[in-house]
Structure 1
Amino acid sequence: MTGDTDNKFLNVGLLIIATLLVAKLISTLIMPRSQKRLPPVIKGWPLIGGLIRFLKGPIVMLREEYPKLGSVFTVNLVNRKITFLIGPEVSAHFFKAPEVDLSQQEVYQFNVPTFGPGVVFDVDYSIRQEQFRFFTEALRVNKLKGYVDQMVVEAEDYFSKWGDSGVVDIKYELEHVIILTASRCLLGREVRDKLFDDVSALFHDLDNGMLPISVLFPYLPIPAHRRRDRARKKLADIFASIINSRKCASESENDMLQCFIDSKYKDGRPTTESEVTGLLIAALFAGQHTSSITSTWTGAYLLRHNEYLSAVLEEQKNLMKKHGNKVDHDILSEMDVLYRCIKEALRLHPPLIMLLRSSHSDFSVTTRDGKEYDIPKGHIVATSPAFANRLPHVFKDPDSYDP
């Protein structure tokens, strides 16, 4: 029965794609050519060539096309046009434009099955801004200062199990200790103490349900998406139980979960269980991914560059001597050498390789060599920190780690 259903979904999907292809071909033949100064278009098989290139990896595509087409170019993805703006000269509008001109909501709809309904990219801009305020309040300095003590406890407990010497997989170890600290500081004591293994496995299924094909077809009935949907439902049940338990017992904890439970919209409406769960999932996705990727690359570069590792260790020894082997938020803020090492790792390996917006109005950009291009309304506009952070005209020796 399941196989028959899958075949039906597949057939429907193929029919939709075929219809879009035919419609695109007809519009290409009968529509008059635009008088706008449009960006060059990546060459490829008609209609689906751009899709094939994109699914193989955006960074690979950018490395191949940037030398040929320059800092502004378009790739056709079936019924969509994505225009890339690479480098500071052409990407300023991307980062500065208001939501009414360049919107996030349409292009990040693929996150909705993961985060859930009614949060972040499934709500209009005004509600999304209020939910971002909830994030900001949960991450204020006074909150972060309280989280540091919990982070130190988790780190000391985790690394106390290491011997004096040995070989470890730094990526695995740092990912694991970060998910432990995130569980305690974000998801709450109940998850960390009693449900960590279950919740960790469910988040793993959510994470693996975010594939390149998910960006274009987030509801495609494939195994990874089914596991994602099952995991999302189980997480909703787990957090609903925790939220009810806290409310019934009138308990209050120092974690992000509690912040979201206590948050209220401007009209006085409290957050719902579904919203709290969605906001927590979004927070963990953002925080855990960013932290684990950045920590892994920072550690790898420091181990490769002993001169920077020595400087980091010397800085920490001096601070420990100055503050009596104490670690808190303020002392961490004094670690300038470590900060610069982390920042350089972020430049070379930003967690988000591509950022997207939907253009609601025409705008123009001018390249370094004076070429002007018109970006039409309706295009998806993209930029890539991972690629732009290695441009040789912006950074000297861009591929070198130099904090």
Structure 2
Amino acid sequence: MEQGSKFLNVGLLLLATLLVAKLVSALIIPRSNKRLPPAVKGWPLFGGLFRFLRGPVDLLREEYPKLGSVFTLKLLSKNITFFIGPEVSAHFFKAPESDLSQQEVYQFNVPTFGPGVVFDVDYSIRQEQFRFFTESLRVTKLKGYVDQMVFETQDYFSKWGDSGEVDLKYELEHLIILTASRCLLGEEVRNKLFDDVSALFHDLDNGMLPISVIYPYLPIPAHHRRDKARKKLAAIFASIIASRRQSGKTQNDMLQCFMDSKYKDGRPTTEAEVTGLLIAALFAGQHTSSITSTWTGAYLLCNKKYMSQVLDEQKNLMKKHGDKVDHDILSDMEVLYRCIKEALRLHPPLVMLLRSSHTDFSVTTKDGKEYDIPKGHIVATSPAFANRLPHVYKDPDTYDPDRFAPGRDEDKAAGAFSYISFGGGRHGCLGEPFAYLQIKAIWSHLLRNFELELISPFPEIDWNAMVVGVKGKVMVRYKRRQIPVD
């Protein structure tokens, strides 16, 4: 009995000591005055990792109504703070690189793009390399690229019969890599080395897995094939560059633009840099364009109203210009543009955009709540979720290209960064004009020359892919028009 009383007294003494220590700690250690965003509930140590891996968009759908437009998700030792909606996204898109950086969060691209380019160089060099991209996509260059896009499109669909059934997704994927090869990689690749280069890019592509984001150098078979393909591509482009320089022959393609580019100090680009920039350009555009082309077609084939509108637009342009299709005529296709833009709003291939915070900063929500975001957080936004906010877009899950028509302009009414399929601000996609022209060139030709019918169910989203695209086949029955767009 006495022994039990002794243990009880010791226990009470320990409890009292802990309470006093906690009280003293609260009094003498200053509290943080940071107004931290609300946090997603998660498991100890793992945080919300398992929910995140099951699908970040599903997580956002569940947490946004409860936590609002700014909230933090803990993933192991990392904190990801989401900014959802145009009211809180300005800092994400406009902050200088010294405050919010891309470099740390996109390091997983380095083994694919190669050393010395994009995310493997400091910001000042990266800005100069982005200038090379900008110069290669000037309107004068785009006009030449359009001629090549139109040629490739006409040649590809000339091989279709008078009628048949095809997997539209497969067809568009193959046409777009042909077009990209001619416009970006050059005629040497397109005419002689296409099969070899295409297979190597396939190995590069398959070497970028979800696990690669966390462990890009993990010694797995897919990474070994990626690294082997990267070396072979470097050798191929080194040979092409050397041949062009020796012959003095130039081409109207992105390869030539990168070869001719010079840094501010006068230094020309190296063979390794040209190769890396070309790989980055193809990765940025190939998947996104083929995915958006497929969604555009799927929606048009299921919406008679908009199919009728785009066909009328093609008829009017043909009355005015005949069969001619060039840069300026494609630029006049406003109805088709809105149909592509709406497909891209509903299905942006990049689900999340990321930055690494180098400084503390504050953000105010549309409800007037102010939060302090600590240095070291990963800051994220999601085009796939933000593009469907009901306070920005009316009936946001409905395909309605007219929402972008003059007079409605829903993407502008709610302010900047309401439409973020191409990112925005300091890091907006440089290839946006190229992408629209490429997709317009393809669909203009299809609309003018074929009657099309979707015969498989409307496609589902492939959430398991690194670049979120179309799941399964998109089967279409076609019949060649005897008189184009009669």
- TM-score over 0.5 for the alignment? yes
Partner of 1:364: helix, strand, or coil? Answer: strand
The change in CA–CA distance for 1:192 and 1:249 in structure 2 (over 3 A counts) is: same
Distance 1:83 1:61 in 2: 13
Distance 1:62 1:226 in 2: 35
Amino acid of the residue matched to residue 326 of structure 1? K
Match of 1:184 in 2: 182
Match of 1:268 in 2: 266
Distance 1:60 1:230 in 2: 36
How do 1:2-401 residues align onto structure 2 when only pairs under 5 Å count?
Answer: 34-401=32-399
Match of 1:16 in 2: none
Distance 1:202 1:32 in 2: 58
The C-alpha deviation readout for 1:152-186, integer Å capped at 9, x for no partner, is: 11101100111222221111111110100000010
The C-alpha deviation readout for 1:75-97, integer Å capped at 9, x for no partner, is: 22222111111111111110111
Amino acid of the residue matched to residue 60 of structure 1? D
Structure 1 unaligned regions, length at least 5 = 1-30
Distance 2:206 2:274 in 1: 22
Q: How many residues align?
A: 373
CA contact (8 A) 2:350 2:384 kept: yes
Cα deviation, residue 302, structure 1: 0.5
Structure 2 unaligned regions, length at least 5 = 1-28, 402-486
Partner of 1:298: helix, strand, or coil? Answer: helix
Cα deviation, residue 258, structure 1: 0.6
Partner of 1:227: helix, strand, or coil? Answer: helix
Higher helix share: 1
Cα deviation, residue 113, structure 1: 0.8
Cα deviation, residue 32, structure 1: 8.6
Partner of 1:166: helix, strand, or coil? Answer: strand
The change in CA–CA distance for 1:243 and 1:36 in structure 2 (over 3 A counts) is: same
Task: Between 270-279 and 347-356, report the one with greater CA deviation.
Answer: 347-356
Distance 1:312 1:377 in 2: 49
Distance 2:111 2:48 in 1: 25
The change in CA–CA distance for 1:33 and 1:385 in structure 2 (over 3 A counts) is: farther
Q: Among all aligned residue pairs of Structure 1 and Structure 2, give the percentage whose two residues are the same amino acid.
A: 84
Cα deviation, residue 316, structure 1: 1.1
Distance 1:223 1:56 in 2: 24
The C-alpha deviation readout for 1:242-267, integer Å capped at 9, x for no partner, is: 11111122121111001101111011
Distance 2:189 2:38 in 1: 51
Partner of 1:381: helix, strand, or coil? Answer: strand
TM-score of the two chains, using structure 2 as the length reference: 0.75
Cα deviation, residue 34, structure 1: 3.7
The C-alpha deviation readout for 1:216-246, integer Å capped at 9, x for no partner, is: 2212222222222121111111111111111
CA contact (8 A) 1:315 1:335 kept: yes
Distance 2:209 2:39 in 1: 25
Match of 1:25 in 2: none
Distance 1:55 1:199 in 2: 33
Distance 1:107 1:32 in 2: 33
Amino acid of the residue matched to residue 167 of structure 1? E
Distance 2:73 2:147 in 1: 48
The CA RMSD measured in Å over matched residues stands at 1.5
Cα deviation, residue 33, structure 1: 6.7
TM-score of the two chains, using structure 1 as the length reference: 0.90
Distance 2:60 2:236 in 1: 42
